[in-house]
A and B are shown apart, each in its own frame.
Chain A
Amino acid sequence: MANIHDYYRKNFLYEGHRMLLPGLRDKIAQACAHCKFFVRVTGRNETRTGCAAQIPRYASLTRRVPGELDAAEVLKLVGREGLDRVLSTAGPHRQACGQFHPRG
């Protein structure tokens, strides 16, 4: 270490004591845009982004998550409240959540 200024500038006091579970580091450094569940939801008038992990059929990963979902299909699968949840839980720059799964 060169001097005290470097010590603080490089955050050594905290870097040396940081303790994280492996999966946490992988998820916290990511955003929704890098997640497999981040999809486009197309409606009649507009296209928005949403989180497919809110739909049980896709959350279990037994079915391939498509890049784009039809809003009517989402309505059929999870109802109005579910659609609201799908649309409100994701944003391209939002911090990835616990269900983060990297895009293949």
Chain B
Amino acid sequence: MHCPILLADMNSFFASVHQALDPVLRGRPVIVAGDPAKRHGIVLAASYEAKACGIQTGIAVGEARNLCPKGVFIKPQYSHYVNFSTRIVRIMKDFTPLVEPFSIDEAFMDVSGCGQLFGTSPEIALKLKGRIKEDVGILCSVGVAPNKLLAKMAAGMQKPDGLTVLDLTEVPVRMWPLPVRELFGVGRRLEKRLRDLNIHTIGELAGYPLPVLQKRFGLMGQVLHLSANGIDYSPVEPHSLEKVKSVGHQITLPRDYRGYHEIEGVILELCEMVCRRVRLGGYVGRTVNLSLKDTEFLWISRSRTVAHYTATATEVYRAAVELLHLHWPDWKPVRMVGVSLAGLVKNTAEQLDLFGEVERARRLNAACDRIRDRFGEQSILRAVSLTPSGVLRDRDGRTLDG
């Protein structure tokens, strides 16, 4: 069978990036984890040497230290991961323009029509693995299959440094005995609902009567039935990242913030970050969304649509603060806060006002953007970032002088 779809999945990506950057770390148990003092104390990634000690993604840093006392703990450095990820996608695009990044460490490729240039799909997969290892210094597992779903399943079957070809005819043997949770698209809640129907394996899902699944899950029931049988019609969509629907940022606060005066400062900082990215993409948006989580991990998300399209932080801030005052009592502590701007359209026209406020804000934004373009994102900050409640100042572990 023709297997033109590849999924390349980088092995222990965050940890591998640090090992590639610093040769001293190679062969050592590297654990990428947040700072417990800032309440980001969970393991984000672990190298295979650390995984051998029982370290798993998501466990607490304290537990990881007990399991692996010799582990090298590193704080996440997202700019490095983005850098490596773009380099990897660039290598993939040397083989085919049909590349769809799926996450920071995974991307689909459609190599139909590349046979004359690079050989069969497994040969291309081998060449790709070699290029990534040689140029970037990272190992990856590649799944080769006739569709995206099977490629995704195949890539997870052999780690690290695997190459798995999964044909449709092999689905009953290699996929059906797996627990239903292993099927792409089935999460914890869906697994529980499937268990209520006495479905425990992918094979049982594949053999379950379609009308019952449809009645229970609607359209998703049909998708589940097809997926369990190894069928997926989704195309590899190289332009999927160009369609931006919303831009948002959220942050877990270093301590519980109490009172509007503290939380409003963080909201302003987040609005600044969101609007900067919206402007970079050349967009303006109308729907402001505010998410808040309390100390009991209960969260709310509220949105409102403003009168005009905007990419100005103060306008987004005004709407976000209105939402805060409307839906969150002053006394309630906040653990996490997020702001996003949705309803984005390309910034082709602008609604001006009588007194030139919009024009003034536009010129101010443009000046700030020019400074950030030239000297970096932290080169110009709101004064609120310098107050004790400010969170932007030491993001990425950097601080400004003075």
A103–chain B nearest beta-carbon distance, Å? 8
Interface size for chain B: under 10, 10 to 19, 20 to 34, or 35 or more residues?
Answer: 35 or more
A52–chain B nearest beta-carbon distance, Å? 14
Q: With A9-B235, A98-B83 known to touch, is A29 a contact of B241 (CB < 8 Å)?
A: yes
Number of A-B contacts (CB under 8 A): 111
Instruction: Give the chain A neighbours of B86 by CB distance below 8 A.
Output: 24, 27-28, 95-98, 100
Instruction: Give the chain A neighbours of B240 by CB distance below 8 A.
Output: 11, 14-15, 18
Q: With A36-B373, A99-B83 known to touch, is A11 a contact of B104 (CB < 8 Å)?
A: no
Is B177 engaged at the interface, CB distance under 8 Å to the other chain?
no
Which residues in window 42-96 of B have CB below 8 A to A?
Answer: 78-79, 81-87, 89-90, 93
Instruction: Give the chain A neighbours of B374 by CB distance below 8 A.
Output: 61, 64, 104
C-alpha gap A102/B276 in the complex (Å): 12
* Nearest chain B residue, comparing its CB with the CB of A96: B86
* Nearest chain B residue, comparing its CB with the CB of A17: B185
Which of A18, A96, A101 has most B Cβ within 10 Å?
A18
A66–chain B nearest beta-carbon distance, Å? 13
Is B293 engaged at the interface, CB distance under 8 Å to the other chain?
no
| A–B complex contacts, Cβ < 8 Å, 9 sampled | A4-B223, A8-B235, A13-B148, A23-B78, A24-B81, A28-B101, A95-B93, A98-B82, A102-B280
Instruction: Give the chain A neighbours of B100 by CB distance below 8 A.
Output: 14
CB pair A104–B373 under 8 Å, yes or no, is yes
C-alpha gap A26/B235 in the complex (Å): 22
Which residues in window 1-32 of A have CB below 8 A to B?
Answer: 1, 3-5, 7-9, 11, 13-15, 17-29
Interface string of B100-113 (1 = CB under 8 A from A): 11111000100000
Interface string of B178-200 (1 = CB under 8 A from A): 00000011000000000000000
C-alpha gap A29/B235 in the complex (Å): 18
CB pair A104–B85 under 8 Å, yes or no, is no
B365–chain A nearest beta-carbon distance, Å? 13
Interface string of A62-104 (1 = CB under 8 A from B): 1010000000000000000000000000000011111111101
Instruction: Give the chain A neighbours of B93 by CB distance below 8 A.
Output: 94-95
Interface size for chain A: under 10, 10 to 19, 20 to 34, or 35 or more residues?
Answer: 35 or more
C-alpha gap A84/B280 in the complex (Å): 31
CB pair B223–A13 under 8 Å, yes or no, is yes
* Nearest chain A residue, comparing its CB with the CB of B233: A8
C-alpha gap A43/B232 in the complex (Å): 52
Q: Which B residues are within 8 Å of any A CB, using their own CB? A: 78-79, 81-87, 89-90, 93, 100-104, 108, 148-149, 184-185, 219, 222-223, 226-227, 232-235, 237, 240-242, 244, 247, 249, 277, 280-281, 369-370, 373-376
Majority-rule SS of B interface residues: helix
CB pair A7–B90 under 8 Å, yes or no, is no
Q: With A14-B100, A104-B373 known to touch, is A21 a contact of B280 (CB < 8 Å)?
A: no
* Nearest chain B residue, comparing its CB with the CB of A104: B373
Other A-B contacts than A26-B277, A95-B86, 4 sampled, CB-CB below 8 A, are A9-B235, A27-B86, A98-B86, A98-B87
C-alpha gap A94/B86 in the complex (Å): 11
Closest 10 CB pairs of A and B: A98-B83, A8-B233, A23-B82, A95-B90, A98-B86, A104-B373, A19-B103, A95-B93, A29-B241, A29-B242
